[in-house]
Structure 1
Amino acid sequence: MAEAKQIRTLLCIAVHQNFFDLPFDKIGSVWTGFATFMSSVAKMEGVTVLGTIDDDETMVGTSPTGFPWTCYMLCDFPDRDAVVAACNLFRTIQVGDENHRLWRYMRIEARMGRALQIPDL
């Protein structure tokens, strides 16, 4: 039986203005929520995190509505449902004591495809 192909996925993450509007002593809970997101994705069954990129040193402030994003995770997922579950974490991870969710402070978009094979010339 043929092994199922992984779905190569770039998780693109942007930080909203709501994050930057927080008092400095309140931003830690957002980072804790984001750390929970990254850890949860890495622990998902069948997921391999291939790499991450953080653009925070050369892009300060909110991301535009598209590219460039604030940070990225490149992962292999077992199927589309797993990608959807990873994105859904932004709806379920609680941030702070006011019952906010991660999506109040960040947004996510998944770009799915297949691994591009480099030809052996």
Structure 2
Amino acid sequence: MSNTKPLRVLFCIGIQQNFFDASAAEAKEVWTAFASMMKAIGELPGVKVLGNLDDDRIMVGASASWPWTTYILADVPDLETVTAGCNLFRTTPVGDGTYKLWKYAKVEARIGRELEVPA
């Protein structure tokens, strides 16, 4: 067993214009896929989701860059697992699977460590 501390990762998620252009039925399929992706991030080996934040009430429209629309903060064991979390946007099907989640949302991961304030 390793004494290596987990990476503190902020998955920064931007909603794309395609989501806002979608029909109500298509948007519902995107929400279903989004929920599946969020669950899958939490189920990656060694991942502990610490929380999330949604800017949807004070941020309107697509996120071209910062500020992002929503965030997931997690402790992640290694870079490969961070990559797997980001890859869920490429692989999570929306509806019949013609499109994947990354048509509607993008992700960038910020990797750091837990801030430990000296006593």
- Is this a same-fold pair by TM over 0.5? yes
Q: SS of 2:57's equivalent?
A: coil
Structure 1 unaligned regions, length at least 5: none
Aligned position for 1:57 = 57
Letter in 1 for 2:115: L
Structure 2 unaligned regions, length at least 5: none
Normalising by structure 2, we get a TM-score of 0.95
Distance in 1 between the 2:28 and 2:39 partners?
16
Alignment of 1:1-121 (within 5 A): 3-64=3-64, 66-97=65-96, 99-120=98-119
Q: SS of 2:67's equivalent?
A: coil
Q: Deviations over 1:53-89 (max 9, x none)?
A: 000011111113x210000000000000000000001
Q: Deviations over 1:31-59 (max 9, x none)?
A: 11110111001111110101100000111
Corresponding pairs, count? 119
Distance in 2 between the 1:28 and 1:74 partners?
25
Supply the RMSD in Å over aligned alpha carbons: 1.3
Report % sequence identity: 49
Q: CA deviation at 1:113?
A: 0.9
Q: SS of 1:108's equivalent?
A: strand
Q: SS of 2:61's equivalent?
A: coil
Is the alpha carbon distance of 1:100 and 1:2 closer, same or farther for their aligned partners in structure 2, counting shifts above 3 Å?
A: closer
Runs of 4 or more consecutive aligned structure 1 residues displaced over 3 Å after TM superposition: none
